[in-house]
Structures are given as structure tokens and as C-alpha cells.
Structure 1
């Protein structure tokens, strides 16, 4: 089937902002993601702001993975190198499989924008319980880059030669009962 013949399939996306200092009104990165998600035709399934606390982040990610009404979780913030940056660790606590190439592609895109400063990002992606999870840096620019250059395409069933949406039904096949 050609890309033009494929229907658009909206996915349900939760957005988590990790910040010790931002509330909803100051959350420019979360707002950037929400605007792009909705513009692309996807559904904003949930939105939350949590402090940089590994247990809280892990528990929220796990709750969203368990929620059958959420297909994708995108977090922003807490991916840096400082002591309070624990989002990546919380994501990895939840992942069943890491999407290693997500970090690589994000770094390549970031290098084109911010040069070698891209080495300070620990953006990551993974899968758990049939749900995709992505951890992005806390800047609106990084969220734009990740969405516009990677996620908008990979979360579109029409994107060829392959995309994340077409393999969604098989993400949790290892959990299915064998007959």
C-alpha cells in the first residue's frame, strides 16, 4: 500500500513535564508539544507536571503505560547531567526495550542546531507494555526538533518505508498467550 493510500491514524499521547520550578502557565516545552500533537491530528490523552523525583516520574510513567487509553508518553525536562536530572533513569526503570537509535538521531539533529553542545543531552526512547516512551530535554527548541524531525513522522501511519504506528499492535505480543 502506498503512503497516499494509507489513512491517518491518530494516537493518544500523554505529556509529562519534569520541573522543580515550572507550573502549567510557565510550561513552554509542554505547551510546544501539546500544540504540535494537536496540530498533527493526534489526541492529547493526559498532561502532568512533576518535580525532578525519580520515584514520582517512574510511577507516573508506569501508570500511563498501564492505561489502555495512552499509546505514547513524551516527557520533557530532566535529561541533563546535573544531580537533579533523573528523568532518563526513571524512563529506564520502566522500559522493556530501549530505542537506541532515537537518541542517536536526536543527537544528529541537535548537532545541526547547537553543535557539540548536543553531547549534554541524554534524550532517550523506549517501549513498555505496548506503549512508546520518549524523554526529551526541557527546552522548547529541543521539543520542536524532536517532534518536527522525528516524532511527527514516526507517529504517522502514512510515513514510509516504516513508522512506529504500524508496529503498535505487535509491541506487546510477547505478553499475549500462545495458543
Structure 2
């Protein structure tokens, strides 16, 4: 599997979506944790948005980014619990071509050290659709920090051996990469 790693870092174009009925860009600390992590790692923020916890609004925004030839990763925070307003998993799952079953499993495993058996109440999930990795995480800043630092940081780094997700993501053509690179 060593062929799935590269010796050079490849910056990815990442979109961040916060699902919340109450947060604004100014109060969205979870989305900001993800943005801080991805930019510190050398990736580019394509776009940031907030939608209410509504299946159709979540799907509409995620579909837009999955179809966008300049978005390689979509990170979602919020709506993964068990309340009546937690709709992210059922909104996103039908959009995925392939599920990354290990993402939710690993997230809950690494979360045990921080929140104990409460980690069972996370319906974190991930998958790939149209060459776009879509990852759904809980809405707390600590959960986003855990997911980023203990899973995503390595798996979105093209140098991680023996393998990472980068070879499975859509490629940006040179013109699009230059154009989009100037938008950040």
C-alpha cells in the first residue's frame, strides 16, 4: 500500500459546514476549530457555511460542494447526536458512494479517553462521494479538535504511510488550483 502515499505534501481544498439552529459565524467555535486545524496543516479553506439542522438544507449544501470540481473534502460539525433536531447522519448517508465505516468507529474509540462512555452518543460518520471525502463530526469544539488532530490531520496528509485519503480524492486541474488558491 506504500503507493498510496507521496513524498510531497498536497494542499487540499476543504469546505466547512456547521449545522446549528443557533450559531452564527461569530459564535461558531467548532467550525473555527476545523478551519484553524486545516489552515495550520497547509490546506486551503474553500468555503465556510452554517445551515440549520434540516435534512434538506444540509443535503443541498453538501450536494453543492460534492458537485463542485474545486472541493475535495467537506467537514461537517453538528447534528450527530440523538435529539429530534440531530439530522446530519440521515441527511448525508444517502449522498455517499462509499462509507468510511472506520471513521465513526475510530472517532468513538479515541473519544473514550476524553468523554468516557458518552462517546457512544456520537453518530460521527464519513464517506466518499464524487471524489469528495465527507466527514460528519459532533458540534462541540473538543470533538472537532479530537477528530482533526487524531484522525483527519494524518489521513488528509498525502505523506502519511502506508496510506491516506488523498489518492482517492478528485484532482484539481492546474488552472483551477491557481484560481482557487487566490480566493483564500
TM-score (ref. length: structure 2): 0.88
1:9-28 map, 5 Å: 9-28=10-29
Q: Where do residues 61-100 of structure 1 align in structure 2 (5 Å cutoff)?
A: 61-100=62-101
CA contact (8 A) 1:58 1:93 kept: no
CA distance 1:127–1:4, change in 2 (3 Å):
closer
1:63-116 superposed Cα distances (whole Å, 9 cap, x missing partner): 100000100000000000001000111111211111101011001001111110
Distance 1:126 1:5, change over 3 A: closer
Counterpart for residue 160 of structure 1:
161
Tell me how far apart the structure 1 counterparts of residues 74 and 5 of structure 2 sit (CA, whole Å): 27
Q: 1:157 to 1:22 in 2, by over 3 A?
A: same
Match of 2:150 in 1: 149
Runs of 4+ that moved beyond 3 A: 1-5
CA–CA distance in structure 1, aligned partners of residues 76 and 5 of structure 2: 31
Indicate the structure with greater helix content. 1
Greater shift, 116-125 or 158-167, is seen at 158-167
3-state SS of the aligned residue for 2:126? strand
More RCO (CA 8 Å, sep 6+) = 2
Partner of 1:115: 116
Q: TM-score, normalised by structure 1?
A: 0.91
Query: Cα RMSD over matched residues?
Result: 1.8
C-alpha distance in 2 between matches for 1:58 and 1:3: 30
Per-residue Cα deviation, 1:111-162 (whole angstroms, up to 9, x for no partner):
1111100000000001111100000000000000000000000000000110
Aligned residues: 170
Give 5+ residue unaligned stretches, structure 1. Answer: 171-179
Contiguous gaps of at least 5 residues in structure 2: 172-184
